[in-house]
Amino acid sequence: MKIYGKVIAMDPKERIIKIFRQDRIDFLHMTRRQFKDYGLYFSKAPYVFVNVGEQKKQFGEYYCYEIEYFRKIIEGTNRQKKTYFNIDVIRRGLKKLINGTKNKLFLDLEFSLPSYYQTMVHIPEILQYGIVVEDENKQVVFQDGSLVKPLRKFAINNRTLKFLSKTYDEFETAPSYIEFYQLLERLIAEYDPKVIAWGKNDILTMEQSFRLNHLKPLAVRKRYVNLMQVIKNYYNSNTDLGLFNTYEEMSGNVQESQQHDALEDARMARDIFLLFENILEKEVKD
């Protein structure tokens, strides 16, 4: 439910603002993160535009609507208006980013996990990759997935094998890390793509893998797009999203249990990207 009104009081301890709207008083409750992000504006008595839950809930002595997310925070009148936050501006920027992305390399990586009885600092190694390359006409021009033989044998442990549903023998014949590195290097040189992945762990582990294998870092960071964060920003959400659940919610398709296969996950990330493009086209005006 969308509501808006002028902030007339704030209770920082309870993270509650009191607003005047349409000849009535309402109380709105914020999460800790919302109060951290927007709390400093409320002393200026701005107008707030928010999405809230349908039913009021009690917080201390107040009956409040829970704020799902802020849409806009402004101070003053139309003649002298100061905007502190506007989700429409953010969404137009995200649409520009997505629409301006031509060649895309959808990437998913699976890593080694700490063993059940870890006694040393765990440094994850890339053990599986999935890559789908799409050109500016939305045609898949390359896709591949494979296990990757780690640099250190102890990177493969029972916990990791169980998670990936693999065996030791399958890794014995797997391509080396350098082969994965050279493949990624070639695809970047050939297609100059944005590298799109779900979350930040892939880029962090990849950059660490360059150091671990004593190889020149590939120029991935400057072209990396965290698709999960893009969608979180669109919905002004602070909750991390699961790839599997996001696909089900956006597509309406119920999937079988997740298999932790890198190529399937890269394909799913591409499907989510395409679904999100459609949402941007319908909901965001240029």
Backbone conformation region of residue 23, classed left if phi is above 0, alpha if psi is from -120 to 50, else beta: left
Residue 177 predicted with pLDDT over 80? yes
CA pair distance 29, 52, nearest whole angstrom = 9
Residue 71 predicted with pLDDT over 90? yes
Would you state the structure tokens that stand for residue 144, as one six-digit string?
Answer: 């591949």
pLDDT computed for residue 119 by the predictor: 64
For residue 121, count other CB atoms closer than 10 A to its CB. Answer: 6
pLDDT computed for residue 154 by the predictor: 79
Coil, strand or helix at 59: strand
**What percent of the chain has pLDDT above 70?**
97
Mean pLDDT of 154-179: 90
User: Average pLDDT of the chain?
Assistant: 92
CA pair distance 2, 6, nearest whole angstrom = 14
pLDDT computed for residue 140 by the predictor: 98
For residue 34, count other CB atoms closer than 10 A to its CB. Answer: 20
Q: How confident is the model at residue 152 (pLDDT cuts 50, 70, 90)?
A: confident
Q: How confident is the model at residue 238 (pLDDT cuts 50, 70, 90)?
A: confident
Q: Based on the number of CB atoms within 10 Å of its own CB, is 207 exposed (0-12), middle (13-18) or buried (19 or more)?
A: middle
Q: How confident is the model at residue 262 (pLDDT cuts 50, 70, 90)?
A: very high
Full-model pTM: 0.86
Q: How confident is the model at residue 108 (pLDDT cuts 50, 70, 90)?
A: very high
Residue 120 predicted with pLDDT over 70? no
Mean pLDDT of 8-22: 94
Mean pLDDT of 169-196: 96
Beta 62-76 vs 57-59: how paired, if at all?
Answer: antiparallel
Residue 96 predicted with pLDDT over 80? yes
CA pair distance 196, 251, nearest whole angstrom = 19
Residue type, 122: H
Q: Which residues are within 8 A (CB) of 46 and not within 5 positions of it... i.e. 6 or more apart?
A: 6, 7, 73, 74, 75, 84
Q: Which residues are within 8 A (CB) of 83 and not within 5 positions of it... i.e. 6 or more apart?
A: 72, 73, 74
CA pair distance 22, 24, nearest whole angstrom = 6
Q: How confident is the model at residue 257 (pLDDT cuts 50, 70, 90)?
A: low
pLDDT computed for residue 201 by the predictor: 94
pLDDT computed for residue 260 by the predictor: 74
Better-scored residue on pLDDT, 79 or 102: 102
Q: How confident is the model at residue 123 (pLDDT cuts 50, 70, 90)?
A: confident
Asked if residues 52 and 65 have their Cβ atoms less than 8 Å apart, the reply is yes
